[in-house]
Amino acid sequence: MLEQIDFTTKSIRDKTKNFIPEVGIILGTGLGGLVKEISVQFILPYESIPNFPVSTVEGHSGKLIFGSLGGKNVVAMQGRFHFYEGYTMQQITFPVRVMKALGVKTLCVSNASGGMNPAFSAGEIMIISDHINLFPTNPLIGKNINELGPRFPDMSEAYSKKYIQSALEIAKQNNIKVSTGVYAGLTGPCFETPAEYRYFWRMGADAVGMSTVPEVIVARHCGMDVFGISIITDLGVEGRVETVSHEEVQQIAREQEPKMTLIMRELVSKI
The answer to whether residues 232 and 35 touch, using CB atoms and an 8 Å cutoff, is: no
Round the CA-based radius of gyration of the chain to a whole number and report it.
17
**Nearest distance, CB of residue 89 and ligand HPA, angstroms:** 18
192 belongs to the binding site for ligand HPA (CB under 6 A): yes
- C-alpha 7/C-alpha 11 separation (Å) is 6
Query: What binding mask, one character per residue, do residues 89-128 give for ligand HPA by CB under 6 A, x or -?
Result: -----------------------xxx--------------
249 belongs to the binding site for ligand HPA (CB under 6 A): yes
**Nearest distance, CB of residue 231 and ligand HPA, angstroms:** 8
The answer to whether residues 21 and 103 touch, using CB atoms and an 8 Å cutoff, is: yes
24 belongs to the binding site for ligand HPA (CB under 6 A): no
Q: Which of these segments, 50-58, 137-145, 170-178, 208-216, binds ligand HPA (CB under 6 A)? A: 208-216
Q: Which of these segments, 18-26, 68-76, 150-158, 204-212, binds ligand HPA (CB under 6 A)? A: 204-212
The residues, ordered by sequence, that sit 6+ positions from 68 with a Cβ below 8 Å of its Cβ are 38, 39, 41, 74
236 belongs to the binding site for ligand HPA (CB under 6 A): yes
Considering only CA atoms, which of 79, 87, 66, 81 is closest in space to residue 28?
79
- Comparing CB distances to ligand HPA, the nearer of 101 and 241 is 241
Would you state the torsion angle of the CA atoms of residues 15, 18, 19, 22, taken in this order, to the nearest 10 degrees?
Answer: 130
- Comparing CB distances to ligand HPA, the nearer of 110 and 113 is 113
